[in-house]
Amino acid sequence: MFRFVINACMLGVGLAMDAFSVSLANGLNDPSMSRKRMNIIAGTFAGFQFLMPLIGWICVHTVVTIFTQVQTLIPWIALILLAYIGGNMIYEGLHPDKEKEEVSHILSMHDLALQGIATSIDALSVGFTIANYEFPEALGASLIIGGVTYIICLAGLLIGRRAGTALSDKASIFGGVILILIGFKIFFGI
């Protein structure tokens, strides 16, 4: 049992690094983010990190051939989603709209969902590594991964929020660059 929990925690930490970086960028982009919003963002990332390994586990046990065909597209999907979101952040940072200045810092639910998918899509492959687990064990591992991701993302948001206050007007550009770099990291498997 102890080894199971440690392995799941280590998987969670490894999988949460992209979500941590995106959380950092989100915190940079909105230094006045409320605690409620931080919990929503961290919860979204945690939710996707929880679901993806389970979906991967289900794929291994049901539709393996479909998943292996889609697996080659995962780096492309992550790169496209993160480049799109990051590019928008850079554009908004370089071309601030005076009327939308306050609103532009708020991450839309659409963008948050895209970030959640992009940063957790690699967690689908974890379903292969936990394929020998029975469903309750796979569920437990996924819950631990989600919990670890939540904690790590909250830390990223807090750090980003503090740094965002210091960077103020350049935070959106910096956050956008971070998202694009994460997309390339996933794409090239670095």
3-state secondary structure string across 55-105? HHHHHHHCCHHHHHHHHCCHHHHHHHHHHHHHHHHHHHHHCCCCCCHHHHC
Residue of 38 and 170 predicted with greater confidence: 38
**Tens digits of per-residue pLDDT, 26-59?**
888 888 899 999 999 999 999 999 999 998 888 8
pLDDT of residue 169: 58
| CA Rg value for the chain | 17
Residue 164 has pLDDT above 80, yes or no: no
Indicate the range of 13-17, 106-110, 157-161, 175-179 predicted with least confidence.
175-179
C-beta atoms surrounding 90 within 10 Å = 18
Rounded mean pLDDT of 7-19? 86
| The pLDDT value given to residue 31 | 84
Residue 167 has pLDDT above 70, yes or no: no
Q: Which domain holds residue 106?
A: 2-188
When pLDDT is averaged across residues 75-97 and rounded to a whole number, the result is 76
In this predicted structure, what is the pLDDT of residue 165? 64
Q: Give me the pLDDT at residue 126, please.
A: 79
Q: What is the pTM of this model?
A: 0.73
* Residue 103: predicted pLDDT: 45
Burial class (CB in 10 A: 0-12, 13-18, 19+), 177: middle
**pLDDT over 70 percentage in the chain:** 83
Domain count of the fold of the chain: 1
Residue 35: Cβ-neighbour burial (10 angstroms; 0-12, 13-18, 19+): exposed
Could you tell me the two tokens for 3?
């080894």
pLDDT band for position 86 (50/70/90)?
confident
What's the pLDDT tens digit per position in 51-85? 999 988 888 777 666 666 667 777 787 778 778 87
Is pLDDT of 168 > 60?
no
